[in-house]
Amino acid sequence: MPDLFTLAVFVAVAGGSLALGLTMDPQHLRALRRLSEKPARPQPRLHSQALIWRELVSRIGSVLPASPKDLPRLKKRLIRAGYRHPQAPRYFQGIRGVTTLVFGAVVVMISGGTAGAMENLLLALGAGLALGYMLPNQCLSFAVHRRQHAIGRGLPNALDLMVVCVESGLGMDQTTLQVAKELQTAHPEIADEFTVMNLELRAGKRRADALHNLAERTGVEDVKKLVAVLIQTDRFGTSIAQSLRGHADYLRTMSRQRAEERASKLAVKLVFPIFFCVLPSLFVVTVGPVLTRLVRDLLPMIENM
């Protein structure tokens, strides 16, 4: 009898635990919920604000006339800034048109609240339109300069890694591919350029042409020198590792000389801030109390005389 009671208790506890586990299992609950729910009706797709603005800017850019003479130069600047989309010039033209209209409207709203002559209003409107037209160009120039600076800063590290890869037995194509993979986090700009060069080589383009395109895309003088070294090495059959090592030492020497040049110019550049900002406050602190005491002590003596 006690054995039957113990067996009954065990079966009850085991069955209750199994039922509780099945009910508490989240995957089991999610599966039952998916089976029990009715299929939801497909909702109409809503376009995000970014897509709406992109479409608006694209249409404005397609309407605005673009000079065929300036279009290749604009494409080159956009590529150097990192914008390789085929419709990037159209987006840039649209952004320029939007900023021109916005700045002109803001100037009209500000000038309309103040009583002024029509000549002043037209002058302010022209200044606002010119500012809105020139602002995208300045932003693009800043983006190009920042990306070129990042590429020049990461080039010595890329050369050191290329030397290691070449000395380990890899070819030039595999070396650039490996450098692009390794520098994707530290220097993504130069990694992207090496990736594009590898894609051009896989597409069947000659190595010299791919290297020339690399120098043309970046517009960095150090990259152009590296491309010239690699082309000469490939043409004359010299050691690639030795050439890369020598060029890396040359780049580090040049960067050290540039830093020393900036340090030597620092004293001359600090003359005007010191003369106009530091010296007046120094005179006030040092000479001010003396002048105050002289005036306070000498004026009564002069009046008594």
Q: Domains along the chain?
A: 54-144 (no CATH), 148-266 (1.20.81)
Summarize pLDDT for 218-269 with one digit per residue, the tens: 999 989 999 999 999 888 888 888 888 888 888 888 888 988 998 988 888 8
Is residue 145 over pLDDT 90? yes
Alpha-carbon gap, residue 194 to 182, rounded angstroms: 11
pLDDT band for position 69 (cuts 50, 70, 90)? confident
Alpha-carbon gap, residue 104 to 102, rounded angstroms: 5
Share of the chain above pLDDT 90, in %: 27
pLDDT, position 121: 78
Alpha-carbon gap, residue 223 to 231, rounded angstroms: 12
Q: For residue 159, what are the contacts with CB-CB under 8 A and spacing of at least 6?
A: 226, 244, 247, 248, 251
Summarize pLDDT for 255-277 with one digit per residue, the tens: 889 889 989 888 888 888 888 88
pLDDT band for position 126 (cuts 50, 70, 90)? confident
Share of the chain above pLDDT 70, in %: 81
Among 109-118, 146-155, 182-191, the minimum mean pLDDT is found in 109-118
Alpha-carbon gap, residue 194 to 177, rounded angstroms: 7
Which runs of consecutive H residues, i.e. helices, occur in the chain?
2-24, 26-36, 49-63, 71-80, 88-112, 118-167, 172-182, 188-202, 207-218, 221-236, 240-269, 271-273, 279-304
Which range has highest mean pLDDT (34-38, 172-176, 210-214)?
210-214
Alpha-carbon gap, residue 216 to 51, rounded angstroms: 32
Q: What is the largest CA-CA distance in the chain?
A: 132
pLDDT, position 7: 58
Amino acid (one-letter) located at 152: G
Between residues 171 and 297, which one has the greater pLDDT? 171
pLDDT, position 275: 84
Among 28-37, 76-85, 91-100, the minimum mean pLDDT is found in 28-37
pLDDT, position 16: 63
Is residue 46 over pLDDT 50? no
pLDDT, position 14: 63
Alpha-carbon gap, residue 285 to 292, rounded angstroms: 11
Q: What is the DSSP letter of 184?
A: T
Give whole-number Cα distances, 136 to 91, 129, 159, in Å. Answer: 11, 12, 34
Of 164, 148, 12, 155, nearest in space to 81 by CA: 148
Of 76, 44, 221, 45, nearest in space to 141 by CA: 76
Mean pLDDT of 114-132: 78
Of 226, 108, 136, 220, nearest in space to 172 by CA: 226
pLDDT, position 4: 58
Between residues 299 and 199, which one has the greater pLDDT? 199
Is residue 85 over pLDDT 70? yes
Of 181, 152, 153, 154, nearest in space to 165 by CA: 181
